[in-house]
Structure 1
Amino acid sequence: MKAIFDDRQWKHEPGHFMANGAILPNPEQCERIARLTEGAKAAGCAFQAPDDAGIGPIAALHSPEYLTFLQTIYTRWRRIEGAGNEVIPNIHPASRGDGYPKSAVGQAGFHQADTACPIAEGTWEAAYWSAQSAISGADLLHAGDRSAYALARPPGHHAFGDLAGGFCFLNNSGIAAQRLLAKGLRPAILDVDVHHGNGTQGIFYDRSDVLTVSIHADPERFYPFFWGHAQERGAGPGLGYNLNLPLARGADDATYLGTLDTALTRIRSFGADVLVVALGLDASIDDPFKGLAVTTDGFARIGAAIARTGLPCLFVQEGGYICDALGDNLTSVLSGFRDAAG
């Protein structure tokens, strides 16, 4: 399997985020790259750099207003007297109407959903090349490869069309799916991250051309809280094209794999001819977020189940945080897929 990564993705080095009123070290550390790279190589992946497809495929999902914000906000923020080293909003609109603030502080609140997506000097460049890695992965599938892995870091599935959140800035999985759609394919997105892919859902919620399916810890008491409930099925033309499968905290391999069967049945019913897997490894029993309890062997079985669909598959990295099992879990899911695909 080919793997895609660009060294400029190291440039995003978030320092902090806030949880339960406390300022903590940000879990989305650069060290993830090293561990995921080793995990992919152990599964037989050969890495290559992405091509630069330009901003067009990114702008197909993200508004020009938002992309301008991401490219310019750090420089503007640093002009504020006494500003911190990272762009972290201290105000958010209760509702996002037609008004748009001119100030850097106001725009940060408008375009950043929470305090877990700090923007620093290298954030835009890293996010841009993370998206290009996913785009190049999509292009490999269109060119005939049956599978590919995009080490997309920073991750993307909490990013809406004009809103960052939850460590995410550009919706890499969604951008890849849109790229495949533009090339005449019929993509589905399967999100297996422990957190609901609320940004992905939001982007495609009123559309019928991309199916979105998410398996995640129940958001009643887990991030992102306000999205990911089972009754959220899409709207307008998209009604019935969004499937959320929330699981109780601590759900094990058997429960997860049974739910995955339901997800894959929906993907078959959609008639997808290509699959984008938003590959969160934070469903692991060893992950610091402690949402679900999938074992390393369980990830191999997840990969095998996905392979049995027979669909060309692009794995786009989402979550999965620093723990001893992180690299092994990636090796497991990619190896499980490879072995079952034959």
Structure 2
Amino acid sequence: MKTFHNPDHQQHAGRQEMFRGRMVDCHEVPARLDFVMNELRQRSLGDVLPPAISEIELDAALASVHSERYLSFLEGAWAEWVAMDPANAGRDALPSVWPMPNRHGFRTNVLPHNFAARMGAFAFDSGCPLTAGTWAAARKGAACAMAAAAEVASGARSAFALTRPPGHHAGPDFFGGYCFINNAAVAAQTLRDKGFERVAVLDVDYHHGNGTQTIFYERPDVLTISIHGDPLTEYPFYLGHADERGAGAGEGYNLNLPLARGTGFMPWIKALDQALDAVHQYKASALVVPMGLDTFEGDPISGFTLKSGDYTTIGRRLADADLPTVFTFEGGYAVAEVGVNAVNLLEGFARAA
């Protein structure tokens, strides 16, 4: 299995985030990727390469899943932030004001000139710091997703996009949950563009992939499935319920499997089997797995109780789908264990061949 890693990921290194009403050190840190990289090399699980994607290809891929005005905002956000106040160069940008939908005076077609207001128009939480290197890191991460999808499209059984910041919370025109560009959506769209007729996205992160769901919600050519903490109690709260089944042409092509906080491995793997059955019924020709490891029992911001050895079994189960598969690195904030957990899953998949 080839891994395409993001050589620019360390350019995105947030200082602090708003978490449960207080400022704390960021949970999403560069060391997450480093632990996975070290574990991959120790176990010799295939080649680890930077992506080789042209800027023209990358621009087209980003535009296929995100709006033009959102991408334009991300590209220029840091410069605007510093222009507000030169002292901002020493601190990350966090949103502080948001529009209220369905209220008198809210105009979705008009963006304020003030940067803080514009940032709030594109953000859905206050815990996702934007830094001087966020755009470069997120952009190269999308290139990793494209390279992994291209590897699978060329005949490989699987490939891994090892990148951060993660992506599955980023929607067509919004960021949050540490995510700016939706790498899983980029991978799925790349597979579609390369001839795979029906692509399934099976998100195994603890937190619902609200961005991915939103991007594909009205499309029948990409089935989106997410196994996650129940949004009645778990972030991102406002999407991820079981009755969200898609809309328009996409009706019936979204499946959410919310589970209660405290869920252990046996009920979790039962939900995975249900998800894989849906993938089979859909007759998918390729699979994208947003690979969150925050289902681990020691994760500081999540609530399932999976153990390190369970991820090997998960990898084997995913291999049973017998589909060309792209993995994208998503959550997992028990930093010291995230490498072992990630590579257990990938090794379980690879060894099941």
Q: Does TM, scored on the shorter chain, surpass 0.5?
A: yes
Q: Secondary structure at the match of 2:177?
A: coil
Alignment partner, residue 302 of structure 1: 314
Partners in 2 of 1:281 and 1:40 — Cα distance? Answer: 15
Partners in 1 of 2:192 and 2:112 — Cα distance? Answer: 34
2:293 pairs with 270, 281, 286, which one? 281
Alignment partner, residue 89 of structure 1: 95
The answer to whether the 8 A contact 1:206-1:239 is kept is: yes
Partners in 2 of 1:38 and 1:229 — Cα distance? Answer: 37
Alignment partner, residue 16 of structure 2: 16
Question: Deviation per CA, 1:138-182, whole angstroms, max 9, x where unpaired?
Answer: 000011110111102110000001101100000000011001111
Matched, 1:172 2:178: no
Identical aligned residues as a percent: 41
Partners in 2 of 1:68 and 1:99 — Cα distance? Answer: 15
1:208 pairs with 207, 217, 220, which one? 220
Partners in 2 of 1:37 and 1:56 — Cα distance? Answer: 29
The answer to whether the 8 A contact 1:134-1:176 is kept is: yes
TM-superposed CA distance for 1:257, in Å, is 0.7
1:155 pairs with 163, 166, 175, which one? 166
CA 1:323–1:125: 2 relative to 1, 3 Å: closer
Paired positions, count: 341
Partners in 1 of 2:260 and 2:296 — Cα distance? Answer: 14
Partners in 2 of 1:205 and 1:193 — Cα distance? Answer: 19
TM-superposed CA distance for 1:329, in Å, is 0.5
TM-superposed CA distance for 1:43, in Å, is 5.8
Question: Deviation per CA, 1:261-297, whole angstroms, max 9, x where unpaired?
Answer: 0000000111111100000000011211232111111
**TM-score, length basis structure 1:** 0.97
Partners in 2 of 1:97 and 1:71 — Cα distance? Answer: 21
Corresponding letter in the other structure for 1:243: L
Contiguous gaps of at least 5 residues in structure 1:
none
Contiguous gaps of at least 5 residues in structure 2:
102-106
Partners in 2 of 1:238 and 1:264 — Cα distance? Answer: 19
Question: Deviation per CA, 1:69-112, whole angstroms, max 9, x where unpaired?
Answer: 00101111111135462121110001262222122111100111
Matched, 1:34 2:34: yes
TM-superposed CA distance for 1:6, in Å, is 2.6
Partners in 2 of 1:68 and 1:98 — Cα distance? Answer: 15
Partners in 1 of 2:220 and 2:332 — Cα distance? Answer: 30
Aligned runs of 1:80-159 on 2, under 5 Å? Answer: 80-81=84-85, 83=88, 85-95=91-101, 97-159=108-170
Corresponding letter in the other structure for 2:65: L
Partners in 2 of 1:179 and 1:335 — Cα distance? Answer: 24
The answer to whether the 8 A contact 2:31-2:335 is kept is: no
Q: Secondary structure at the match of 1:287?
A: coil
Greater shift in the superposed pair: 130-139 or 109-118: 109-118
Alignment partner, residue 3 of structure 2: 3
TM-superposed CA distance for 1:250, in Å, is 1.3
The answer to whether the 8 A contact 1:279-1:318 is kept is: yes
